[in-house]
Amino acid sequence: MGIDPNYRLRPVSGEHGGHKVYGKVDPPKVLGVHGTIVGVDFDICIADGSCITACPVNVFQWYETPGNPVSEKKADPINENACIFCMACVNVCPVAAIDVKPP
């Protein structure tokens, strides 16, 4: 199914690591979408690490999410402002949990 490309229209539920979090959040099961320029749907991210490896500008870092039923860590777009829009992360994500849009 993948990330909802319209997630930016959802209510902002908070901030984390300098970026917005969109949608409902009810830890540890529901974590929302993190990031505006580079959005990662924490509810479907399986933490295989392919986006971290593929990104040439280190947008992502691991974020621990203990108790989450999908994975106990997520690829957090902590440095989304460094994104060069190469789309490498989008292309390698096996569950299509990432959406990239210029500001």
Residue 47: predicted pLDDT: 97
Does the residue 24 lie in any domain? yes
CATH code of the domain covering residue 22: 3.30.70.20
Does the residue 2 lie in any domain? no
Does the residue 1 lie in any domain? no
Residue 1: predicted pLDDT: 82
**For 14-36, how does the pLDDT look when each residue is reduced to its tens digit (9 = 90+)?**
999 999 999 999 999 999 999 99
CA gap 67, 15 in Å, rounded = 20
Does the residue 11 lie in any domain? yes
Whether 34 has a binding-site annotation, put simply, is yes
Whether 99 has a binding-site annotation, put simply, is no
Whether 51 has a binding-site annotation, put simply, is yes
Does the residue 82 lie in any domain? yes
Q: What is the mean pLDDT of the chain?
A: 97
The pTM of the full predicted model, rounded to 2 decimals, is 0.97
Provide the pLDDT confidence category of residue 78 given band limits of 50, 70 and 90.
very high
DSSP state of 16: E
Total domain count, the chain: 1
Provide the pLDDT confidence category of residue 103 given band limits of 50, 70 and 90.
confident
Whether 89 has a binding-site annotation, put simply, is yes
Does the residue 20 lie in any domain? yes
The domain in which residue 78 lies consists of 7-100
Query: Which residue in this structure is represented by tokens 């490896």?
Result: 53
